[in-house]
Structure 1
Amino acid sequence: MNLFTIPVPSPSSLWTTVRSGGAFNVACSFAALWVLVKVSRMLRWRVKTTQLLGPPRTSLVYGVSRDLAISQDRPAMYERWATEYGVVYMIPSVLGQTNVVLCDPKAIAHFYARETWTYVKTPLTLAFLESSIGKGLLWSQGETHRRQRKALTPAFSNAAIRKLTSVFYDSAYKAKGQWDNVIESSKDDDAVIEVQNWMNHISLDTVGIAGFSHDFGSLDGKRVSVAEAFDTIGSNQPSAVDKAVFLLASVFPIILKIPNKRQNMFTQLGITMEQISNELLIRSRREKDADISQVGEENSLIGLLIKSEGQDAELHMSAEEVVAQMKVLLLAGYETTSSESWALIELSRHPDVQTRLREELLAFGPDPTYDQLKANLPYLDAVVHETLRLHPPVRESTRIAAADDVIPLSEPVRTASGNMTDNISIAKGTLITISIAAINRSSTIWGPHAKEFKPDRWLTEDGIGGKAKEVQGHRHLLTFVDGPRMCLGKDFAIVEFKTVLLVLVKNFVFEMRDGPDAPVETVRGVLPRPRVAGEDGTGVPLRVRRYE
């Protein structure tokens, strides 16, 4: 008998067991079958997967996963292990699982080229995404992902974003006006402003107008239910129990269906986003039918979604998929603003960089066009990309191999048996982890000043080291990942980022409220966010004054 072939009891034999032995024997039979299948898969995995070196297990139940979960600097842990064990290594995970960690640019490029087909989202990720934002672009894989992405691509083309640049400016200037009022009402010539909350409002209103032709009005102080749902999650940081439950869910995703406070918040967020999405869709369909807008004729997101609803549409999407895409955009618009908050923090910590950036912006004169934003403001571009390098909104990803594969390496590593190899075999079912943040600020890849905020590295030919040039992705960064799942809204996000930063830095001077050395930590909203130590939720209070 083949080592990996396990005889499965027929339905008739199982029924015989039920009749003769009762429920207890049935339970034992299924338990034995489950163990046999697991052992079979484990044996196959060990034979088919190159066994690598890695850190020892620190917990019988969690491996090293709990250490990572509670660490204030996960990327540093991944980088330290890469230095000790090589550019690819294995880490013990929950209940006997093992993750292969890739820190090699060549291996990572191979991985991303095959993501969504050979390397797919884990059952836990799929369950979480489906329950919170539905079966949209983030959830979908393979052919479904290709179809959905192709349907949405025109909304994120250069031509489409060029038309939206005025929307970005409008939101930024609306925030500027509100900040002017706050400073005017202050007794001094400055005011402490919680900037992260304002970045959220800028992006939410921008996404509403740019994507759905709807102004949420959050910059005007209007109550927005989806913003409140996001803020509730950010104000309630996960407890040790929450983290332990989520780790166990990586083995038993059904755990996510067990109600708890944090899971209930995500469920409510999903419900709120769905309600808003449906309201916007109903309004847009009505306007299209009445021919009082061109929503169905333009390459706007809402127009493309309504077009895709038609049964004869080339890239047809179901009603469920359409709503899910809207929820994805709401999530992306609200939760990826951490980069803008980090930029203001870094400029507050580095007043020389802030002054130099302001000088470039003021010297340029009138507000630049879309094309000028991309090509004519090199220091603004450098500040934006240095922020994206050090503070990516999504810091790591884990996928599971849907088929056997061989991953090439740019340099050999030592295996667990002591041999050297320049490629590793991956068996179906293997978990693969890439720490985006670790790669973006690795000293091996980016040089001795990798951890420092140095926009100048983007301005000279030798500023980006040889190893960094091997990283495939936008500007040698993994911030937007790579391959078929590269962030579709990358250009939208960068142009919005530049526009907001330009307007604010031209008009205001930023300082850390408690001095330049005030500690800033990373906490969780839906995605990781900065927080000034000691603040509640995800607070980032900065001292702001007008630039005269």
Structure 2
Amino acid sequence: MALPILQSLAVFAATWIAWRVLRRLVRGDPFAPLRGPPSPSYITGCMKLLFSNTGMAYHEHLVKTYGRAFRLPGMFGETLLYVHDPKAMHHLVVKDTHIYEESDDFLLTNKNVFGKGLLATIGDDHRRQRKMLTPAFSINHMREMTPTFYGIIHKLRESITQQVVPGGEVEEIDLLSWMTRTALELIGQGGFGYSFDTLEHDAPEHPYSAAIKNYLSALNTPSLLLTRLFLSPRLWELGSPKFRRAVINAIPWKGLHELRDLVDIMDGTAVEIFESSKRALNDSESDLSKRIGGGKDVMSALLKANMTASEEDRMPDDELLAQISTFIFAGMDTTSNGLARILHLLSEHQEVQDKLRQEVSEAYEKQDGDLDYDTLNSLAYLDAVCRESLRLHPPAFAVLREAKVDGVLPLGRPIITTDGREVSEIFVPKGTKIFLSIHHCNREEEIWGPDAAEWKPERWMAPLPSSVADARVPGIYSNMMTFLGGGRACIGFKFSQLEMKVVLSLLVQRFKFAPSGKKVVWLNNGIIQPSTEDSPLTAMGHKKLHLPLNVSFAKSA
């Protein structure tokens, strides 16, 4: 069976490539007048450089050379747009979302991996799901979940204490591993009333934790990434799910099979969580308050709301199930790596760490116990550290959009074309992929000032320059694009902020973090993740992800 399938796929791929090349030759390049880099390869264009996990320097070169909006050579002569102009971003994520949507690759990959959840739907389906989910992420609900979060982080703190305790000496600890385990447990209990991890320092890693941690690295290997970007929108639509599974099994491609196995682990766990939540809700004798998280988790709230929703708003079981892996994927990797980045920054800036420790220590002494939601969010310097870290180092470097129909993209600042003309808008033909750089919009000097590329939490302790408000960046959070904006903004950004603040306040109060001496490098695997220069390769062939920091007891502890 394998040989006929492979032959059919080869014919399909060759036909698809030939059609793409012919279409380009017939219609020409609509972005030819725009400035941009030369193509190093007709087959792959700039895609290998653009999506390389070590390619951040290439992005810096592009933006420094070509500005806020420029063309990029894609695969087989295709041209992409690269944008970080705030006005253009407003049209892309807020005003003209009927024109610019998630790319077919993004939607179909998420649909096949996670199911028909928030990351795999557009239009009315997406709005209906978001309407049902939004109350579960309200501030009032975050207030109710705060004690659950504290219970988890106290376990984390005690486990790290056990690693440091011999003689109170400095210990090198992989903080990424702890942040990953903790973020999964927070989303498990806070999201689904489910425990993944005891957070004991010698406990084995939950299979789901390993799977989700390796998922992005596996998905974004150069060969898989280029295949997805160019062919997968059509491959995902071939035949039934059973047929596509047979195709995947038949292809002699180790990386694809490893990805399949990771997805199987995630899917199996999601089904287990969903069935457990449904049983608890349907059991008339079940006391939800005795469930993990006290029945305050997002899934319990969603299931209860769904039971009383109108027919047109109600979500079927397959959509409810899809939200589980969607939430874990969207919330775990971004938060864990965002926390790892903050701890790394604090280790390199001891004066900031000391000032933060003083603020949180004084707050806990006054409270004589855990802080409630509002008190935690009133800590100005903790808030400044989080905001500045998320501005300068957004966990998601960029997002892609695709023009579903012809459109015109206005620019906040005119650009100069190759023939010397000044233009204030760009015609965008249907099918164009647009690369939105969150990273560079957050670091724009015209918005944030000449020190925009520096980590300065103090900038948030005084009124921001008027240029920040004047730029009208369309982000949902603090005039930055970290959590996006518009109808596809991160629905769980308050959940993520609460996680970060509880973790940082309890850990910094007790521990001092310092560099380990190993050079930390940050890799762009779709999410920015830490490793070290001399890090070994994993069994899957990816650079090992870890953040080794020296940890000791803080003097005030």
Name the TM tier (shorter chain): 0.7 to 0.9
Distance 1:122 1:283 in 2: 34
Residue 453 of structure 1 is matched in structure 2 by 455
Distance 2:82 2:499 in 1: 33
* Equivalent in 532, 543, 547 of residue 540 of structure 1: 547
How far has the Cα of 1:173 moved from its partner? 0.9
Whether 1:61 and 2:43 are equivalent positions in the alignment is yes
Whether 1:260 and 2:253 are equivalent positions in the alignment is yes
- The one-character-per-residue Cα deviations of 1:96-129 (angstroms, maximum 9, x if unpaired) are 1111111211111111114653212222222321
Residue 487 of structure 1 is matched in structure 2 by 490
SS of residue in 1 equivalent to 2:451: coil
How far has the Cα of 1:345 moved from its partner? 0.4
Distance 1:278 1:33 in 2: 36
Distance 1:445 1:524 in 2: 25
Distance 2:262 2:304 in 1: 23
Contact 1:101 1:432 in 2 (8 A): yes
How far has the Cα of 1:232 moved from its partner? 4.5
Residue 208 of structure 2 is matched in structure 1 by 226
Contact 2:446 2:467 in 1 (8 A): no
Whether 1:243 and 2:209 are equivalent positions in the alignment is no
Distance 2:235 2:487 in 1: 31
How far has the Cα of 1:420 moved from its partner? 1.2
In structure 2, give the amino acid aligned to 1:252.
L
How far has the Cα of 1:135 moved from its partner? 1.8
Q: Which ranges of structure 2 fall in alignment gaps of 5 or more residues?
A: 1-9, 237-247, 537-543
Whether 1:278 and 2:271 are equivalent positions in the alignment is yes
- The one-character-per-residue Cα deviations of 1:194-248 (angstroms, maximum 9, x if unpaired) are 11111111111111111111222341325522013234557x7789xx4044224
Check 1:73–1:115 CA distance in 2 against 1; reply closer, same or farther (3 A cut).
farther
Residue 289 of structure 1 is matched in structure 2 by 282
Residue 158 of structure 1 is matched in structure 2 by 139
Check 1:50–1:104 CA distance in 2 against 1; reply closer, same or farther (3 A cut).
farther
Residue 419 of structure 1 is matched in structure 2 by 421
Residue 7 of structure 1 is matched in structure 2 by none
Residue 127 of structure 1 is matched in structure 2 by 108
SS of residue in 1 equivalent to 2:42: coil
* Equivalent in 365, 373, 377 of residue 376 of structure 2: 373
Residue 94 of structure 1 is matched in structure 2 by 75
In structure 2, give the amino acid aligned to 1:124.
D
- The one-character-per-residue Cα deviations of 1:475-533 (angstroms, maximum 9, x if unpaired) are 1111101111010001110111111100000111111111xxx4221236673311233
SS of residue in 2 equivalent to 1:60: coil
* Equivalent in 78, 81, 103 of residue 84 of structure 2: 103
Aligned 1:261-410 pairs, distance under 5 A:
261-291=254-284, 292-294=286-288, 300-305=298-303, 307-308=305-306, 313-336=311-334, 337-364=336-363, 365=365, 366=367, 367-374=370-377, 376-410=378-412
Contact 1:232 1:265 in 2 (8 A): no
Contact 2:376 2:501 in 1 (8 A): yes
Q: Which deviates more, 252-261 or 398-407? A: 252-261
Contact 2:168 2:552 in 1 (8 A): no
* Equivalent in 191, 195, 199 of residue 175 of structure 2: 195
Distance 1:463 1:177 in 2: 42
Check 1:361–1:33 CA distance in 2 against 1; reply closer, same or farther (3 A cut).
closer
Identity %: 30
- The one-character-per-residue Cα deviations of 1:371-399 (angstroms, maximum 9, x if unpaired) are 1222x211111111111112212111111
Check 1:32–1:322 CA distance in 2 against 1; reply closer, same or farther (3 A cut).
closer
Residue 217 of structure 1 is matched in structure 2 by 197
TM-score scaled by length of structure 1: 0.85
Aligned 1:65-84 pairs, distance under 5 A:
65-70=47-52, 72-74=54-56, 76-84=57-65
Q: Which deviates more, 171-180 or 434-443? A: 434-443
SS of residue in 2 equivalent to 1:413: strand
Distance 1:37 1:107 in 2: 27
Distance 2:15 2:193 in 1: 57
How far has the Cα of 1:293 moved from its partner? 2.9
SS of residue in 2 equivalent to 1:545: strand
Contact 2:94 2:474 in 1 (8 A): no
Q: Which deviates more, 76-85 or 104-113? A: 76-85
SS of residue in 1 equivalent to 2:551: strand
How far has the Cα of 1:370 moved from its partner? 0.9
Contact 1:229 1:265 in 2 (8 A): no
Distance 1:458 1:169 in 2: 26
- The one-character-per-residue Cα deviations of 1:123-180 (angstroms, maximum 9, x if unpaired) are 2222321232222101111111111111111110111111111112111111111111
Q: Which ranges of structure 1 fall in alignment gaps of 5 or more residues?
A: 1-26
Check 1:192–1:133 CA distance in 2 against 1; reply closer, same or farther (3 A cut).
same
Distance 1:404 1:331 in 2: 32
Contact 2:394 2:438 in 1 (8 A): yes
Residue 436 of structure 1 is matched in structure 2 by 438
Distance 1:422 1:416 in 2: 14
Check 1:368–1:129 CA distance in 2 against 1; reply closer, same or farther (3 A cut).
same
Q: Which deviates more, 335-344 or 190-199? A: 190-199
How far has the Cα of 1:447 moved from its partner? 2.8
Q: Name the Cα RMSD after superposition.
A: 3.1
In structure 2, give the amino acid aligned to 1:498.
K
How far has the Cα of 1:299 moved from its partner? 7.6
Q: Which deviates more, 50-59 or 464-473? A: 464-473
How far has the Cα of 1:354 moved from its partner? 0.4
Distance 2:256 2:211 in 1: 12
Distance 2:444 2:149 in 1: 33
- The one-character-per-residue Cα deviations of 1:294-337 (angstroms, maximum 9, x if unpaired) are 48996832341465378964422222211110111121332111
Distance 1:271 1:155 in 2: 27
Q: Which deviates more, 402-411 or 248-257? A: 248-257
SS of residue in 1 equivalent to 2:118: coil
Q: Which deviates more, 314-323 or 439-448? A: 439-448
Distance 2:167 2:521 in 1: 30
SS of residue in 1 equivalent to 2:478: helix
Distance 2:310 2:108 in 1: 31
Contact 2:102 2:401 in 1 (8 A): yes
Check 1:78–1:447 CA distance in 2 against 1; reply closer, same or farther (3 A cut).
farther
Distance 1:398 1:421 in 2: 23
Residue 204 of structure 1 is matched in structure 2 by 184
